[in-house]
């Protein structure tokens, strides 16, 4: 696929460390410019925007960012407010909090803020998201799904994401909430799309060259269904168990990465 972006992404599986070494959040500030970082925190997804916004603002300024402002965008009117657009256009890092990913896309999609985010990304602004803020990064996102059941067509609700990272679908809180079955169901619907499951306190650093690097304390799971041989996804009923054979699975802790173009994992030290 033709390269369409110039920025970097930091995709966080949720529940990142905020009290210890804070490796992931400090990485975001470093990517956004360190002491020159100007951060915009978008709290649209959460039902507690003031509390969550204040927490991240304090963290980011405590890590040395030049500034950290919170954008309280709760409806379509505020998503088109010129002041909010200006805040996006002048920042070096954008951070999406957790909550409900459908709130993010339904409130921001097609708005002035949405357009400003995309322009900023193309100019090189770093975009990070945790939990729901991670799910929206891809073209197609998982909105809901029963993670405790056998893989079935009926277990998933999906919608369009922001499309900042193409040809993947992302799930978060992955190992902690046992979500491999619903990610398998997502991959079965389109084996060309890579399924990426990110554990809590774990993140993917994504470069414009579509190379991923894992950071944090847990792991990232990559499901590659391109070479699936047998599947009953198109023939089964909604509640029938899915058949899938020859799915390739990678488990990647910190120190490993994944090349999206080549669909290959690598050890970061050997890559360097």
Domains of the chain in start order, with CATH, are 9-256 (3.40.50.880)
Report the distance separating Cα 141 and Cα 220, nearest Å: 17
Tokens coding 266: 């690598």
Q: What is the mean pLDDT of each run of 10 residues along the chain (272 residues)?
A: 66 98 98 98 97 98 98 97 97 97 97 97 96 96 82 80 96 96 92 97 96 98 96 85 94 98 92 59
With a CB cutoff of 8 Å and minimum separation 6, the contacts of 97 are 41, 42, 43, 45, 46, 52, 53, 56, 130, 131, 132, 133
Q: Model-level pTM?
A: 0.94
pLDDT tens figures, 63-72: 999 999 999 9
Q: Are 179 and 156 in contact (CB under 8 A)?
A: no
With a CB cutoff of 8 Å and minimum separation 6, the contacts of 32 are 38, 39, 65, 92, 93, 125, 126
Query: Which residues are the active-site residues?
Result: 131, 173, 200
Report the distance separating Cα 213 and Cα 271, nearest Å: 11
- Phi first, then psi: what are they for 130, rounded to 5°? -115, 140
Spatial CA neighbour of 9 closest among 260, 234, 244, 263: 260
pLDDT of residue 11: 98
pLDDT of residue 46: 97
């Amino acid at each position: 696929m033709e390269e369409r972006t110039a920025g970097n992404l930091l995709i966080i599986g949720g529940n990142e460390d905020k009290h210890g070494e804070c490796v992931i959040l400090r990485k975001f500030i470093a990517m956004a410019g360190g002491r020159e970082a100007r951060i915009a925190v978008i709290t649209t997804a959460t039902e507690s925007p003031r509390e969550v916004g204040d927490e991240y603002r304090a963290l980011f300024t405590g890590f040395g960012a030049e500034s950290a402002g919170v954008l309280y965008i709760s409806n379509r009117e505020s998503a088109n407010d010129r002041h909010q657009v200006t805040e996006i256009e002048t920042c070096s890092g954008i951070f999406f909090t957790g909550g409900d990913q459908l709130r993010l896309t339904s409130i921001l999609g097609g708005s002035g803020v949405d357009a400003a985010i995309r322009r900023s990304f193309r100019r090189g602004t770093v975009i990070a998201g945790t939990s729901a803020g991670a799910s929206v990064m891809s073209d197609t996102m998982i909105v809901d799904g029963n993670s405790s059941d056998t893989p079935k067509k009926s277990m998933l609700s999906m919608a369009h994401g922001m499309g900042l990272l193409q040809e993947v679908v992302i799930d978060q809180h992955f190992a902690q909430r046992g979500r491999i079955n619903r990610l398998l169901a997502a991959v079965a619907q389109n084996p060309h799309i890579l399924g990426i499951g990110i554990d809590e306190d774990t993140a993917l650093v994504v470069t414009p060259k579509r190379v991923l690097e894992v950071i944090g304390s847990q792991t990232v799971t990559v499901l590659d269904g391109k070479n699936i041989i047998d599947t009953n996804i198109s023939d089964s009923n909604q509640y029938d168990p899915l058949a899938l054979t020859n799915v390739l699975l990678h488990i990647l802790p910190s120190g490993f990465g994944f090349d999206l173009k080549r669909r290959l994992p690598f050890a970061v030290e050997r890559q360097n």
